[in-house]
Amino acid sequence: MIWQKAFKSPQLRFLVGIAVLFWGVCCILVLHRYYNFSLTYISFDQGIFNQVFWNSLHGRLFESSLSSTESASVMQGDVPDVSYRRLGQHFTPALLLWLPFYAIFQSPAGLSILQVTLVTAAGFMLYALARHHLSPQLSSLIVMSYFGAIAVIGPTVANFHDICQVPLYSFGLFLALEKRKWWIVGVLAILLLLVREDSGIVLFSIGFYLAISRRHLRIGIGLCLLSLAYLLIVTNLIMPLFSQDISQRFMVEQFGQFVDNEEASTLDVLWAIARNPGRLIAEIVMPVGKTISYLLGHWVPLAFVPLVAPEAWALAGFPLLKILLLKAEVTALSPHWRYAMSLVPGLFYGTILWWAKHPDRYTRRFRFFWTACIGLSLFFTMTANPSHVLSWAIPDSFQPWVYVSPPGQWQHSQAVRSLLTQIPNNASVTATDQIVSHLSSRREVLRFPGIQLRNDLDETISVEYAIADLWYLQRYEPAFESYRNSLKLMLDTINVLLEGSYGLIDFEDGVVLLQKEANSNQTALNAWTTYQQELAPIFSNEASL
């Protein structure tokens, strides 16, 4: 009866329609990209998460040979280890909540569907939160802004990432605060902390707002102390139990401009920032153009209300500060990047609180302006082609022209699948970025050109199979120099392997399949030789320049 009464509301029916449309379109986009093996570096991250879930499902919690390839020890010369636990890089125990879902949909594609579903569910939670303060009409526009926001769509259609849980937990926490359901506040605060080691910054910002607004002074101070203590304990005591990556790699890579050492803890970075306020201000502001553009990406779908809402600045201030302090090459200050999603809860809740104080500002003219802003946000999102999900419709480069038609993509994907069927399910394998996630539901898998790993017997072995897709690299290299460099590296590596203990057992449409201790298929070998001759002008032209 309650639901029947609720669905008599035209606004709620409209919200359901928007949410279903968002869920359906996003699912189609992420599945299309996954199944046509679209070239994107994020496919590697998808493989990491899938292997983490797959190993956890089989009792090996958070282990991943793919994640091991990103560890500081491997970068210092060690080989990847199948028993490496990713908790040393990112502390993400909240992922275990979704292990039952993964048990039903055991694939990287299933994780993408999970991500879209979590983000969509957060939209319903946002509507309930907005209705606590606002009219149905205003609440509907808030939710429309959410589903049309660059910082929501971009991270949703990206690879699966742990931050996709943050909006749902945060909006639920805000609603529990409004309803004074304190035990729910406690549960969601803990869940938010468990998302990853730095999600405590989101909770700290929430506590900061509650304290300075004096809405819940004691709770606010408590959340600040809890989140700060959690961040310091996890990063300095717990994560180092698994590996030294947090201090030897991630803190230096992300905040190395503040520290001079090759190794730094979170305490070292915080102390370095506190000692250098001038550098702090410069990092917040510079580069001015990109910083303003980044903020506009967040403000536009909400019709610029967060710009004038003190509540939004307080609630999203500390996650924003963290992003602005990251090295430019880490995020490129892009609202499409997954980190941007950590700002969404604070900005939207702050906007709701602002409208609750200024309902008279909601006029027909402003509603038209707001709707236009949402449309503008959608336009900028589509033209940016986040995570290459629209590459079937939008060229990846206009000058020079780089575009692969849908028939061309699907024809190539069929060639990749025909080679994948030749790799046994339990074989050790190394694969290039766009293929590796499809092979990540196994114990021993690496990112090509990596070949060696340490197995469960503590033996260093070379993988049995290697599969490399050069087709996309060949087509994208005219516009992207890094792809040209990768193409040259792949060619050289494959030829070295062929001169060693690997045989070329198949070659089709620019995709190479090698097997250890196997004799090369002469037809495939001839096709490989011809293919290299076709690529030779690319590198001869580069040398002449």
For the stretch 21-33, pLDDT in tens is 999 999 999 999 8
Q: What is the per-residue pLDDT for 1?
A: 40
Residue 5: pLDDT over 70: no
Cα distances from 29 to residues 25, 158, 389, 403, 433, in angstroms, run 6, 10, 6, 17, 19
Measured between alpha carbons, how far is 450 from 463 in angstroms, rounded to an integer? 9
234 or 476, higher pLDDT: 234
| Cβ contacts of 278 within 8 Å, gap of 6 or more | none
Tokens of 395: 């060229």
The residue assigned the tokens 């306020």 is: 277
155 or 260, higher pLDDT: 155
What are the tens digits of pLDDT across the range 376-433? 999 999 988 888 888 888 887 777 888 888 888 888 999 999 999 999 999 999 999 8
With contact defined as beta carbons under 8 Å apart, do 352 and 129 qualify? yes
With contact defined as beta carbons under 8 Å apart, do 200 and 193 qualify? yes
pLDDT, average across residues 438-462? 94
Q: What is the per-residue pLDDT for 392?
A: 82
Residue 108: pLDDT over 60: yes
Provide the sign of the torsion angle of the four alpha carbons 235, 237, 242, 246, taken in this order: positive
Measured between alpha carbons, how far is 66 from 84 in angstroms, rounded to an integer? 9
Mean pLDDT, the chain, whole residue set = 90
Residue 514: pLDDT over 60: yes
Peptide bond preceding 359: is omega within 30 degrees of 0, i.e. cis?
no
| Cβ contacts of 488 within 8 Å, gap of 6 or more | 539
Residue 456: pLDDT over 90: yes
DSSP labels for 399-430?
Answer: TTEE---HHHHHHHHHHHHHHHTTS-TTS-EE
Measured between alpha carbons, how far is 111 from 118 in angstroms, rounded to an integer? 10
Residue 281: pLDDT over 80: yes
Q: What is the per-residue pLDDT for 6?
A: 52
Q: What is the per-residue pLDDT for 530?
A: 93
Chain length of the chain = 545
What are the tens digits of pLDDT across the range 315-355? 999 999 998 888 765 556 788 888 999 999 999 999 999 99
The residue assigned the tokens 């945060």 is: 170
Residue 40: pLDDT over 60: no
Residue 7 binned pLDDT confidence (cut-offs 50, 70, 90): low
- CB count within 10 Å of CB 279 equals 14
DSSP β-ladder status, 429-431 and 445-447: parallel
Measured between alpha carbons, how far is 267 from 262 in angstroms, rounded to an integer? 15
Measured between alpha carbons, how far is 158 from 150 in angstroms, rounded to an integer? 12
Residue 273: pLDDT over 60: yes
Measured between alpha carbons, how far is 128 from 356 in angstroms, rounded to an integer? 14
Which residues are paired to 386 by β-bridges?
none
Q: What is the pTM of this model?
A: 0.93
What are the tens digits of pLDDT across the range 224-256? 999 999 999 999 999 999 998 888 888 888 887
What are the tens digits of pLDDT across the range 147-181? 999 999 999 999 999 999 999 999 999 999 999 99
Q: What angle do CA 272, 262, 69 make, to 5 degrees?
A: 125
Q: What is the per-residue pLDDT for 2?
A: 41
Which has the closest alpha carbon to 149: 310, 314, 354, 377?
377
Measured between alpha carbons, how far is 169 from 188 in angstroms, rounded to an integer? 6
With contact defined as beta carbons under 8 Å apart, do 49 and 110 qualify? no
Residue 14: pLDDT over 90: no
Q: What is the per-residue pLDDT for 3?
A: 46
